[in-house]
Amino acid sequence: MSMPSFDFFRGAPVTEQLRIESEPPGADARTSQGHSCRTPCSVSVTAAPDLSVVVAMNGYQPQTVPVRTNTGLGRDDDDEGGGSVRLHPNPVYVELLPTTPSKSPKKAAPKKKGTAAAKTTPPGQQATAPDPNSPYPAGYPWPDPR
């Protein structure tokens, strides 16, 4: 014969509405319990000591916010009386920061060997300075016809 469990006296797990907001709105929010929504939104979570919310959006750095569970013990400063559960922070507010593009210095493309035109004077011709009035650009592949 087995002993009855004391879990019978514990009651159902306590759930609480958790509000999640972000700037900019429209971010994906996911709790550590697997609930997800798009901000601004509310999810019903079970009070737990290890609750957290991850808020992410394309183009922004994701942020994780831990959420504490405070259980009221019937003190006079507790508005809702004994045994109440409060999530802190509630609402969860996250201001997402844009991701910064990686600033890698642009490298010049390596020069391929043998692609640059050699500036040599054909045999029998004199090397002359380019004529600024010539209709041909300096270094044109054939000599100016004048």
pLDDT, tens digit, 9 for 90 and up, residues 118-144:
555 556 555 556 666 666 555 555 555
Q: 85: pLDDT confidence band, cut at 50, 70 and 90?
A: confident
Instruction: Tell which wins on pLDDT, 100 or 54.
Output: 54
pLDDT at position 13, please? 75
Query: Is residue 133 left, alpha or beta, with left meaning phi > 0 and alpha meaning psi from -120 to 50?
Result: alpha
67 burial type by CB count under 10 A (0-12 exposed, 13-18 middle, 19+ buried): buried
Instruction: Tell which wins on pLDDT, 79 or 144.
Output: 144
42 burial type by CB count under 10 A (0-12 exposed, 13-18 middle, 19+ buried): middle
What is the DSSP secondary structure assignment for residue 8, as one 8-state letter? G
Reading the block at residue 69, the tokens are 């569970």
Cα–Cα distance measured from residue 97 to residue 123, given in angstroms and rounded to the nearest whole number: 67
Are residues 41 and 29 in contact, defined by beta-carbon separation less than 8 angstroms? yes
Percent with pLDDT over 90 in the chain: 41
Token look-up 């994780």 returns 64
Give the CATH fold of the 13-95 domain.
Immunoglobulin-like (2.60.40)
pLDDT of 45 > 80? The answer is yes
pLDDT at position 77, please? 46
Ranges of each domain in the chain: 13-95
CA distances from 60 to 83, 90, 102 (A): 39, 23, 14
Q: How many CB atoms lie within 10 A of CB 92?
A: 22
pLDDT of 80 > 60? The answer is no
Q: 81: pLDDT confidence band, cut at 50, 70 and 90?
A: very low
pLDDT at position 86, please? 85
pTM summary value: 0.56
Instruction: Tell which wins on pLDDT, 80 or 88.
Output: 88
